[in-house]
Amino acid sequence: MDKEHFITHVSTLFFRTSSKNIKSGTHFKQLQEWNILLAVSLAEMVREEYQVELNEKDFLRNDTIGDLYRCIRNKQ
């Protein structure tokens, strides 16, 4: 799994934030459109694309896109 590809893929889920503003250090939970539906969409995308299950604790423990990337890599 390539980090830049992951970031690009995640950025497509955020409809109000420009993909140019989604980076490894982006605090995704602070973005305007972050909500439970987006969390479910992100978890589903990760399950389909990377065969990794994210749970509520994963979202609570990780604050940035880079943190999520490392979490997913550790679960693979």
Residue 4 pLDDT exceeds 90: yes
- Asked if 37 and 16 touch (Cβ cutoff 8 Å), the reply is no
Is the CA virtual torsion 6, 8, 9, 12 positive or negative? positive
- What is the Cα–Cα distance from 47 to 72, expressed in whole angstroms? 10
For residue 11, the one-letter residue type is: S
Q: Domain-by-domain residue ranges, the chain?
A: 3-75
> Could you report the per-residue pLDDT of 21-45, keeping only the tens digit for each?
999 999 999 999 999 999 999 999 9
pLDDT at 62 (0 to 100):
97
**CATH code for 3-75?**
1.10.1200.10
Residue where the block lists tokens 């439970």: 36
Length of the chain: 76
pLDDT band, residue 1 (cuts 50/70/90): confident
- What predicted TM-score, i.e. pTM, was given to this entire model? 0.90
- What is the Cα–Cα distance from 30 to 72, expressed in whole angstroms? 20
